[in-house]
Amino acid sequence: MERTVISTNNAPAAIGPYSQAIKAAGQFVYLAGQIPLDPESGEIVGETIEEQTHQVLRNIQGILQAAEAKLGNVVKTTVFLNDMTDFAAMNQVYAQYFTDNPPARSAVGGLDLPKGVKVEIECVAII
């Protein structure tokens, strides 16, 4: 099976022993969970769930672009929330990025996320 590491400066660098994304079998791209870090500074962007969700989705767009894909190629996302009461606000931002035929999605709340952020999103795309 063909396996290619995807890495870009348009999203935060991996902060542990993982890749930003892996392209497998030439058509699937598996993105690591993204948190709201600025790709250049590595600092958390935003204090609200809305601000953080925007940054997470911009980071996902950057990685997908490096894999020659876009949000329309995403088939599955998993949203991890620090507090499930943030779901509605996160969902309003999420809907701005996935406008037509949104991917399948799961959401889990009540988690201690890396660096104390409010949201993390991982996804799978097909090219």
pLDDT at residue 64 is higher than 70: yes
Phi, psi of 61 (to 5 degrees): -60, -40
Q: Which residues span the domain enclosing 27?
A: 3-126
Q: What was the pLDDT predicted at 58?
A: 98
Tell me how far apart the alpha carbons of residues 25 and 78 are, in angstroms, rounded to a whole number: 22
CATH value at residue 16: 3.30.1330.40
Q: Is the pLDDT confidence value at 1 over 70?
A: no
- Residue-wise pLDDT for 26-43, tens only, equals 799 999 999 999 999 999
Confidence at residue 24, expressed as pLDDT on a 0 to 100 scale = 86
Closest among 21, 23, 38, 36 to 81, alpha carbons compared: 36
pLDDT at 65 exceeding the cut of 70: yes
Domains in the chain: how many in total? 1
How, if at all, do strands 21-24 and 3-6 pair? antiparallel
CA-based end-to-end distance of the chain:
16
CB atoms within 10 A of CB 83: 13
Instruction: Reply yes or no on whether the pLDDT at 57 is more than 80.
Output: yes
